[in-house]
Amino acid sequence: MHYRDLFKAAELFMRDPNSYDHAYKRARKNVDWRNLDQLSRGEITNNVIKFLNEWNCRLDSAYFNQISHGIKEAFNQASPFLNAIENETLEDIDFRNVKKVGDKEFDHFEIIHSIFAEFCNIGYRFRWVATSKTLHQILPKLFVMWDNPICNKLGLELSARSYVHDFLPLMKQEVNEAVTTYMQDHICKRNVAIYSIIKRCCEISGYEKTLAKLVDEYNWIKYTKGYL
C-alpha cells in the first residue's frame, strides 16, 4: 500500500455517510475501554454494544444481558495478556518477541491469540468481527478491525488463528509499505514518516487516528466498498 492510497482512502472514508465515523468517535469518547470490567451492564449495552451494532455486528437485543456479562468476563480474563502488549503498535510489533504473563512466557502470537479467543468465546453472535472491533477500541494502536468482505477479498478465513497469524502480519506489512514509500518520496527517517502520515490523516478526519485505524479505513474503502 502506497501512502498516497492511504491518504485517498482516508478522504473517501470521511466523505462516505455509511462509514459511521460519528459512532466511532462517540465510542472513543464515551467508553473507558481499558476498564471494561468496571462498567455496568447497562453502560456496556448502551455504549459498547451500541457501537458494535452501529458498525454492523448485528448483535441480538434478546441477548444483550448475556453479551454484556460476557464482555466483562472476557476482558477480566484477558487483562494480564492485554497489559503485556499495551505499548505495542501495529507498525513495530515483533510477533515472535517473548513476554512473561504471570509465571509463564508467551510470544506475541500466543498472547494475541489468547486475547482474541477469549472474546470470541462470548457467543450470542459475538464472534470474530465483534471481537476485532472491541479489541481495536481497547488497544487502538495495535488491533485492526476486519469483517467478512475484507476477509473474502484477502482470501482469509474468519478465525482467531487467521486473525493472529495471517491478518495482523499482513496489516503490519501494508502499514510499513506506506511508511517506506513516504520515506522514499520525502527522504526522511522512519519516525518522521510515521508522524507525518498520522498528522496528514488527522487533518483529513479532524481528530487523531492510529495507523491501525487508518489501514482499516483503507481496507473498508478498497475491499468492502470497492472504491480503490
> 63-97, pLDDT tens digit by residue?
999 999 999 999 999 999 999 999 999 999 999 99
Say if CB 141 and CB 88 are below 8 A apart. yes
Say if CB 184 and CB 64 are below 8 A apart. no
Distance CA 4, CA 32 (A): 33
pTM of the model: 0.96
Distance CA 48, CA 10 (A): 24
pLDDT of residue 228: 87
Using left for φ > 0, alpha for ψ between -120 and 50, and beta otherwise, residue 226 falls in: left
Length of the chain (residues): 228
Q: Which tens digit of pLDDT belongs to each residue from 119-147?
A: 999 999 999 999 999 999 999 999 999 99
Domain count, the chain: 1
Does residue 95 sit in helix, strand or coil? coil
Domain residues for the domain of 52 are 3-224
Using left for φ > 0, alpha for ψ between -120 and 50, and beta otherwise, residue 72 falls in: alpha
